[in-house]
Amino acid sequence: MIQVVNIAVSGQGLRDITPEISRAVAEAGIEEGLCTLFIQHTSASLLVQENYDPSARVDLENWLNRLVPERDPLYTHTLEGADDMPAHIKASLTAVSLSIPVLNGRLALGSWQGIFLWEHRHHRGHRKVILHLI
C-alpha cells in the first residue's frame, strides 16, 4: 500500500509527524510488516529522535544551524535564498527515507522515539511524504 501524506510546515524546525504516520498505519489494518517513508524534497528531511523533552530538539536544531550556517562564503548556489544551500546540506546529512517495522498493528518505535519532518527552510507550506507499507 502506498499513500501520500501531506504535512503542513510553518518555518524551520522539527515537526512531529508521528500522529499522521501512526494513523495511516492503523487505517491500513496491517498487523506485522514494514513502513517505509520517503520525503519528496531536497530541503527538508526525515528524522527519528527523542519526542519527550523539547530541549533536545531545540539543541539539535541550534547545533545543526551552527554547523551549517547561512551566508557561508563557500556557497555559490545563492539565487534561491540564503536558507536554500544550508537546507540542501542539512538534508544530505539526515535521512530522505526511513523504514520502521510494524508489530501488533503499530509502529515499533522505542519508548522515547518520535518521527519528525525536519524543515530546513524558513517558508510556510506543505511537504509530501510517501508512505509505503507491506
Positions in the binding site for its own copies (CB under 8 A): 2, 32-34, 36, 38-42, 47-50, 53, 55-56, 58-60, 62-64, 66-68, 72, 74-77, 79, 85, 88-89, 91-101, 103, 108-113, 128, 130, 132, 134
Q: Which residues, listed in sequence order, are joined to residue 35 by a DSSP beta bridge?
A: 100, 133
Angstrom distance (rounded) from CA 47 to CA 50: 10
If the CB atoms of residues 17 and 91 are measured against its own copies, the closer one turns out to be 91
Angstrom distance (rounded) from CA 50 to CA 16: 10
If the CB atoms of residues 124 and 128 are measured against its own copies, the closer one turns out to be 128
Q: Which residues contact 85 (CB under 8 A, 6 or more apart)?
A: 72, 75, 77, 78
Within 13 A of 96's CA, how many CA atoms are on the CB side?
A: 9
Q: Cβ 24 to its own copies, closest distance in Å?
A: 13
Cβ-contact 113, 51 below 8 angstroms:
yes
If the CB atoms of residues 3 and 122 are measured against its own copies, the closer one turns out to be 3
Neighbours of 21 (CB within 10 A): 24
Q: Cβ 84 to its own copies, closest distance in Å?
A: 8
Q: Cβ 50 to its own copies, closest distance in Å?
A: 4
Q: Cβ 124 to its own copies, closest distance in Å?
A: 18
If the CB atoms of residues 122 and 132 are measured against its own copies, the closer one turns out to be 132
